[in-house]
Amino acid sequence: AGKYQSGFVTTQGGKLSCSKIIHLITDNQVKSQVSKVLHECERMMYKSVAFPAIGTGQAGQSSAKVADEMLDAIVEFVRQKSVQHLQTIKIVVFQTNMLTDFYESMKKREEDSDSSTTESWLSWFKSFFGGRKQSSEMKKLMILEKKVNLVTFQICGESQEKVDATESWIKDLILKEQFEKIISDEAIESFDETQVAILEDLQRRHRVTM
The model's pLDDT over 34-79, given as tens digits with 9 standing for 90+, comes to 999 999 999 999 999 998 888 777 667 888 898 899 999 988 888 8
| pLDDT band for position 178 (cuts 50, 70, 90) | confident
Mean pLDDT of 108-136: 50
CATH 3.40.220.10 in the chain, residue ranges: 3-129
| Architecture (CATH level 2) of domain 3-129 | 3-Layer(aba) Sandwich (3.40)
For residues 145 and 134, the model is more confident at 145
Q: Is 147 helix (H, G, I), strand (E, B) or coil?
A: coil
> Model's pTM, two decimal places?
0.54
Residues 6+ apart with CB under 8 A from 166: 155, 157
Return the higher-pLDDT residue of 34 and 131: 34
Burial of 152 (0-12, 13-18, 19+ CB in 10 A): exposed
Length of the chain: 210
Average of per-residue pLDDT values in the chain: 76
